[in-house]
């Protein structure tokens, strides 16, 4: 069963973010959007995915020891991408009004994990660096079975000293969405035994100033 009413869904997300800093919802993405993205994820030609790096801009390194997936940035170049970006923009507006998060921009990419691919435990943002505030991950795989591996492990809130404890084990099933405060929750992707498609995205606050121009990615 998919939740079709955006404002109920957005309120659930806002309330859980306020309470826990994190929200995991099965069938959270509207079915139409999830399916359009699913079709696109597997249609992107293999050369359309690029080896993922770690870090940003010039500091970016391709480090297969840390992550071995391949990514493709979402730019609104297809109907599915447009619907996804539109829906994220509505979520951004809702969260800004409800939680005063000051979210300024959103960037996201498809990720393809081939058999054996993984992403070691990491944070998406570091304290004190004004950049990624809120992480959104969603999954594009139908009928994912436990034996395929590839789960997302989310560890507890570092501010509560729970960063070594797994608090959620998320199967990468179509429509599941995971949203959390980027600085607080370390997470990792266990090796998948089958092609695994996901989207990872980040809402950012505006880190640009006279001294530091701070474009996305
Ligand atoms: C990431 C990430 C999780 C996933 O790209 O930073 O943590 O399940 N992805 O794909
Ligand atoms: Mn991550």
Per-residue pLDDT of 12-38, as tens digits, reads 999 999 999 999 999 999 999 999 999
For residue 114, the CA-to-ligand 2 centroid distance in Å is: 17
Question: Which token pair is 124?
Answer: 């998406």
Contact of 21 with 80, CB cutoff 8 Å: no
Tell me, yes or no, whether 116 lies in a domain.
Answer: yes
- In a domain, residue 210? The reply is no
Ligand nearest to the CA of 182: 2
Give the integer Cα–Cα distance in Å for 102 and 134. Answer: 11
Residue 2: what pLDDT?
Answer: 45
Task: Say yes or no: CB of residue 108 within 6 Å of ligand 1.
Answer: no
CA distance 57 to 91: 27
Q: Is there a domain that residue 28 lies in?
A: yes
Query: Is 66 part of a structural domain of the chain?
Result: no
Ligand 1: residue whose CA is nearest its atom 5:
200
Answer yes or no: are the C-beta atoms of 1 and 27 closer than 8 Å. yes
Please give the distance, rounded to the nearest whole angstrom, from the Cα atom of residue 36 to the centre of ligand 1: 20
Domain count, the chain: 1
Please name which ligand lies nearest the alpha carbon of 109: 1
- The sign of the dihedral angle between the CA atoms of 39, 45, 47, 48 is negative
> Which pLDDT band, with edges at 50, 70 and 90, does 150 fall under?
very high
Q: Would you say residue 31 lies in a domain?
A: yes
Q: Is the CB of 111 under 6 A from ligand 1?
A: yes
pLDDT, one tens digit per residue, over 164-186 is 999 999 999 999 999 999 999 99
Q: Which atom of ligand 1 is nearest to the CA of 199?
A: 10
Say how many Å lie between the CA of residue 73 and the centre of ligand 1.
13
pTM for this model (two decimals): 0.90
Parent domain of 182: 6-53+75-204
- Residue 1 in any domain: the answer is no
How many angstroms separate the alpha carbon of residue 90 from the centre of ligand 1?
22
What is the edge-to-edge ordering of all strands in the sheet holding 187-189? 119-122, 187-189, 152-155, 166-170
Question: Which pLDDT does position 134 carry in this prediction?
Answer: 96
Cα–Cα dist 205/50, whole Å: 26
pLDDT score, position 70:
86
| 196-204 sheet: strands from edge to edge | 22-25, 177-181, 132-139, 196-204, 105-113, 70-73, 50-51
pLDDT for 91 equals 96
- The pLDDT assigned to 159 comes to 95
Q: What is the pLDDT of residue 3?
A: 47
Ligand 1 and 189: CB distance under 6 A: yes
Whether 1 has a pLDDT exceeding 50, the answer reads no
Q: How confident is the model over 136-156, as a mean pLDDT? A: 98
Q: What's the 189 CA to ligand 1 centre distance in angstroms?
A: 7
Q: Do the Cβ atoms of 100 and 210 come closer than 8 Å?
A: no
CA 114 to chain centre: 18
Any ligand 1 atom below 6 A from CB of 40: no
Tell whether 209 is covered by a domain.
no
pLDDT digits (tens, 9 = 90+) for 66-124: 888 889 999 998 999 999 999 999 999 999 999 999 999 999 999 999 999 999 999 99
Residue 133 within a domain? yes
List, for residues 40-70, the tens digit of each pLDDT value.
Answer: 998 886 557 777 777 665 455 556 678 888 8
Q: Would you say 33 and 82 are in contact if contact means Cβ atoms under 8 Å apart?
A: no
The enclosing domain of 17 has a CATH number of 2.60.120.620
């Amino acid at each position: 069963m998919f939740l079709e009413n955006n404002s109920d869904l957005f309120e659930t997300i806002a309330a859980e973010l306020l309470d826990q800093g994190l929200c995991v919802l099965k069938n959270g993405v509207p079915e139409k959007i999830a399916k359009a993205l699913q079709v696109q994820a597997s249609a992107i030609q293999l050369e359309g995915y690029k080896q993922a790096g770690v870090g940003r801009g010039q500091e970016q390194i391709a480090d297969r020891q840390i992550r071995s997936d391949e990514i493709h940035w979402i730019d609104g170049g297809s109907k599915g991408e447009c619907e996804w970006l539109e829906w994220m923009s509505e979520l951004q507006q809702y969260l800004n009004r409800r939680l005063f998060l000051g979210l300024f921009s959103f960037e996201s990419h498809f990720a393809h994990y081939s058999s054996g691919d993984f992403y070691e435990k990491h944070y998406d943002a570091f304290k004190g660096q004004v950049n990624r505030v809120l992480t959104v991950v969603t999954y594009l795989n139908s009928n994912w079975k436990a034996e395929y591996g590839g789960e997302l492990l989310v560890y507890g809130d570092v501010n509560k000293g729970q960063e070594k404890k797994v608090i959620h084990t998320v199967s990468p099933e179509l429509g599941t969405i995971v949203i959390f405060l980027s600085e607080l929750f370390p997470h990792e992707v266990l090796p998948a035994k089958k092609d695994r498609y996901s989207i990872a995205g980040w809402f950012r606050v505006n880190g640009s100033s006279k001294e530091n121009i701070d474009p996305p990615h």
